[in-house]
Amino acid sequence: MYLTIDPAHARAAALAVQPRLSIVMVVYMTGPALMESVRHALAEPFTEELVIVDNGSSNADAAWLRALARREPRVRLLQGLGNIGFARAANLGATSAKGEELVFLNPDAFLTPGAIAALREAARDRPSPCVVGARVFNTDGTEQRGGRRGEITPVTTLLSLSKLSATLPPLRRFEIHREGDPPPPYPVDTPTISGACFYMTALDFQRLGGFDEGYFLHVEDIDLCWRARRQGGCVLFQPHARVVHVGSTSRESPLVIEWHKGKGLVRYFLKRADSKRRKALALLLAPLILGAAVARPLLRMAHRRMVRSEARLAPLPS
């Protein structure tokens, strides 16, 4: 007598044992990049569980996610909560995950082979709590802005948002972005890494209390890194964990996204102000930080309109 074993049932039986590593992904109106991101995540040998928290998707994407969860036993889908904000949704995903290790991954970020193994290796024998970030690339192969950053303060933020620290030589010492520096040959301590893809043990994430749910969108990753370092842990940039991040795939208005980013930065600076002087500085600069954040998409939109207008007025070639 021969016994035929359904591969799907075999995988489901294997996952009845607690998985070692879970990927947590928060989805909100991501679009086509979502399917590619999921495909890469499930192709990783270390992916034993993929927890997807759907904060809001198109009807087609929501149906695709439900079909995926039915046919792929490694996928756990949480839907029906509405848009509860990234931090809250990520905490929900992490609480629901069964893995002892967690990788938080954006739904428009694509893992490359060996990325998770490199993240896990970097965390070995490091002080706890430990956060390990990947090296994040644009689709054209250049390193993405924000993947490794210096100390984020009200002054460095204003100079960075206005691009003064990148363009004026006397202010370059305040530049927080490090993507232009040569990549280190090994994992290095870095004040802030990108939330697009990072690794932590579930225990360390719990010790930190997860993400601060006072942030709705953006800056929660900066806050997490700060709290890890504050508690005597470490934040590492792992140059050998490569991730391609499409970015700007959400159908949400760029103005709304930048508003949330500005609000998050103001909250962060007030939260970490440990003296009256620093709190006063954070309050004083808050309107400028909000204004600079919102001005960026407005300037981009104005530039695009000007380019289109010039193109329409340009004389036709003879």
What pLDDT digit, counting tens, does each position of 75-85 carry? 999 998 899 99
Beta strands in the chain (DSSP E): 21-28, 49-56, 75-78, 101-105, 109-111, 130-137, 148-149, 188-189, 192-193, 197-201, 234-245
Q: Does residue 148 sit in the same domain as residue 240?
A: yes
pLDDT of residue 223: 97
Q: Is the pLDDT of residue 6 over 50?
A: no
Q: Is the pLDDT of residue 220 over 90?
A: yes
State which residues form the domain around 148: 19-245
Q: Where is pLDDT greater, at 78 or 165?
A: 78
Q: What is the pLDDT of residues 178-205, one digit of tens each?
A: 999 999 999 999 999 999 999 999 999 9
Q: Does residue 117 sit in the same domain as residue 263?
A: no
pLDDT of residue 2: 31
Q: Does residue 175 sit in the same domain as residue 92?
A: yes
Nearest residue to 122 via CA among 112, 131, 113: 131
pLDDT of residue 170: 85
Is residue 6, in this structure, part of any structural domain at all? no
**Total number of domains constituting the chain:** 2
Q: Does residue 180 sit in the same domain as residue 114?
A: yes
pLDDT of residue 259: 84
User: How many CA atoms within 13 Å lie on the side-chain side of 13?
Assistant: 6
Q: Does residue 233 sit in the same domain as residue 264?
A: no
Is residue 271, in this structure, part of any structural domain at all? yes
Is residue 5, in this structure, part of any structural domain at all? no
Q: Does residue 209 sit in the same domain as residue 75?
A: yes
Nearest residue to 147 via CA among 220, 222, 85: 222
pLDDT (average), residues 139-161: 91
Q: What pTM, to 2 d.p., does this model score?
A: 0.86
pLDDT (average), residues 138-165: 90
Q: Does residue 196 sit in the same domain as residue 241?
A: yes
| Token pair listed for 293 | 């954040």
Q: Does residue 210 sit in the same domain as residue 281?
A: no
Is residue 192, in this structure, part of any structural domain at all? yes
Q: How confident is the model at residue 229 (pLDDT cuts 50, 70, 90)?
A: very high
pLDDT (average), residues 98-125: 97
> Where does a domain end: 245, 273, 288?
245
pLDDT (average), residues 221-249: 94
Average pLDDT of the chain, as a whole number: 88
CA 208, 52, 225: angle at the middle one, nearest 5?
25
User: Which neighbouring-strand residues pair with 25?
Assistant: 52
Q: Does residue 303 sit in the same domain as residue 227?
A: no
Q: How confident is the model at residue 95 (pLDDT cuts 50, 70, 90)?
A: very high
d(CA 280, CA 7): 61
